[in-house]
Amino acid sequence: MSILYNFSAGPSTLPLPVLEKASRELIDFEGCGISLIEMSHRGKIYDKIHNETINLAREILEIPENFHIIFIQGGATLQFGMIPLSFLNKGMTADYIVTGSWSKKAFNDGKAVGITNIAWDGEGCNYNKIPSQGEIQLTKNAAYVHLCSNETIGGIQWQSFPETDGVPLIIDMSSEIMSRPLPWEKIGMAYAGTQKNLAPAGMSLIIINKSLAQKARTDLPSYLRYDLHIDKNSLYNTPPTFVIWMTNLTLNWIKSIGGLSMIEKLRDEKAKLIYDIIDQSNGFYINSIEKKSRSKMNIIWRLSEEKLEKKFLEGVEQAGLDGLKGHRSVGGFRASIYNAMPVEGVKTLSDFMKKFMDKNG
Ligand code: PMP
C-alpha cells in the first residue's frame, strides 16, 4: 500500500491511527457483533460515544460550563443561514467582518435574512490581511458580529479576536478548530464543519454561550432551532452517528498525543517549514499575505510563471504529495496542513519546494 500525503483543504487528511481504529471496528464495534453505525442512536452503546465526544471537546478546548456543545448536520453553510434566522431579529443589524470568500458567503446569507453591515471589507487590499481593531466599524448594539477565523481559500487567519463591546462574537472556525486554545470570555459562538480537523464531512460542531442561546428564535422549523438541539442533547433527530464516532476518535487521538499544546507546537513547526522556504526564495515562491495575518492551516503561494506552476504540479504529484492545487478561484498552490498532517509530510513538501527552486530558479 502506498499512502500519499494529502494536503487537500477538506475533506482532508485524518490521523492514521483514527482511520486504522475505525476500519478495525467498523464491522464489529468493540465486540458487540454489529457496527456502531448500524445501531440505534437511542441505545446505550451509541449514547456512551455521543456523550464522551461532547465531554472530550469540552476537556480539550477547555470550554467553560456556560457554553453548550451541540452537533448539527449540514456543515458550516447551514450555520451561515441559521445564525441570522435565529439571532437577527427585525429592527436589528448584524455586523460582518469580510476577510475572504467564506466570511463573504456568511455575510450573503445574513443579508438574505435581515439588515447587515460590513464592519470591515478586505476587498480593497485584495483580502491580504486581517484588520486591526481601529479599522473595524461596529454597529452599537448589533445582534452579533460575525467573522471567519481562518480563511481556507485566502490563507489568512486571525491571531487574536477583536473586542466587540458586549455584542456576541460569532466565529466560523471550520478550518482551524482544535488547533489552539480559545479565549472563551470573548466568544458568543464558535462553529466548525467537521471535515477538516475532526472527521469526515456531514456535521458542524457548535459551541454556544448559554446567554446567546437563550436569545435564539424558537418560531422556526424544528431542525433550525438551536434550543431544540440543546434541549435534546443533539438527539432531536437521528444524528450523523458515523461522523460523531470519527470525531470521538480524533479527539481521543489529540488527547493521546498531548492535547492542544502539542497540536499548537506541531502546527507552528509545520507552518514554519513552508513559510521559511517561501521567504527565503527571493520571490520564486510568492505569498502576498501580510506576515502577521498568515494562516498556519492553509498556506498559499504562486510561482512567477504559469509554465513553472504546471511543472511544479506535475512534480508534486510524482513525489506523492496530493491536493496541493490552489482553489479554482485563486489558482496557484495551497497546502492545507491540518492537525492530522504529519511533520514528515510537510518536510517532504518543503524539501520538494527547495529542490524545485534550486533546479528552476
Ligand atoms: N467556512 C469555512 C472556513 C470553510 O472552509 C468551509 C468549507 N470549506 C465552509 C465554511 C463551508 O463548509 P461546508 O461545506 O461544510 O458547509
- Is 102 a catalytic site residue? yes
Strand locations in 99-149 (E): 115-121, 145-148
- Is 48 a catalytic site residue? no
More confident of the two residues 85 and 3? 85
Average pLDDT over residues 16-30: 97
pLDDT level of residue 3 (50, 70, 90 thresholds): confident
pLDDT digits (tens, 9 = 90+) for 41-78: 999 999 999 999 999 999 999 999 999 999 999 999 99
Dist. CA 246 → ligand 1 center (Å): 18
96: its cell numbers: 460582518
Query: Could you tell me which residues come within 8 angstroms of residue 159 by beta carbon, excluding any fewer than 6 positions away?
Result: 130, 292, 293
pLDDT of residue 269: 98
Nearest CA to ligand 1 atom 9: 76
* Residues 227 and 213: beta-carbon distance below 8 Å: yes
pLDDT of residue 1: 58
Ligand 1 neighbour 174 (Cβ under 6 A): yes
Query: Is 103's pLDDT higher than 90?
Result: yes
Ligand 1 neighbour 172 (Cβ under 6 A): yes
Ligand 1 neighbour 152 (Cβ under 6 A): yes
Query: Is 230's pLDDT higher than 70?
Result: yes
Cα dihedral: 313, 314, 318, 324 (round 10): 20
Nearest CA to ligand 1 atom 3: 174
Give the 3-state secondary structure of 201-213: CCEEEEEEEHHHH
Dist. CA 172 → ligand 1 center (Å): 8
196: its cell numbers: 477538516
- Is 253 a catalytic site residue? no
Ligand 1 neighbour 101 (Cβ under 6 A): no
Task: Pick the catalytic residue from 158, 172, 296, 301.
Answer: 172
What is the topology classification, in CATH, of domain 259-360? Aspartate Aminotransferase, domain 1 (3.90.1150)
318: its cell numbers: 510524482
Burial (CB < 10 A; 0-12, 13-18, 19+), residue 77, is: middle
Nearest CA to ligand 1 atom 5: 152
Q: Please report where in the chains the cell 504546471 appears, as a residue.
A: 310
4: its cell numbers: 500519499
16-256 and 259-360 share one fold:
no
Average pLDDT over residues 35-44: 97
Nearest CA to ligand 1 atom 15: 75
Dist. CA 77 → ligand 1 center (Å): 6
Tally the residues of the chain. 361
CATH class as words, domain 16-256: alpha beta
Give helix 343-360 / helix 259-279 axis angle, nearest 10°: 0
Ligand 1 neighbour 73 (Cβ under 6 A): no
306-319 residues labelled b (16+ CB within 10 A) or e (exposed): eebbeebbebbeeb
CA R_g for the chain: 21
Ligand 1 neighbour 336 (Cβ under 6 A): no
Average pLDDT over residues 268-285: 97
Euclidean distance between CA atoms 214 and 360, whole angstroms: 59
Which pTM value belongs to this model? Answer: 0.98
Euclidean distance between CA atoms 342 and 361, whole angstroms: 28
pLDDT digits (tens, 9 = 90+) for 114-166: 999 999 999 999 999 999 999 999 999 999 999 999 999 999 999 999 999 99
Euclidean distance between CA atoms 178 and 192, whole angstroms: 10
Euclidean distance between CA atoms 335 and 342, whole angstroms: 13
pLDDT of residue 2: 66
* Residues 151 and 105: beta-carbon distance below 8 Å: no
Half-sphere CA count of 21, side-chain side, radius 13 A: 15
Euclidean distance between CA atoms 195 and 200, whole angstroms: 5
User: Where do the structural domains in the chain lie, given as residue ranges?
Assistant: 16-256, 259-360
Taking residue 73's Cβ as centre, other Cβ atoms within 10 Å add up to 15
Closest by alpha carbon to 96, among 78, 77, 110? 110
Dist. CA 99 → ligand 1 center (Å): 14
Mutate to test the pocket of ligand 1, among 174, 189, 243 (most ligand atoms within 8 A of CB): 174
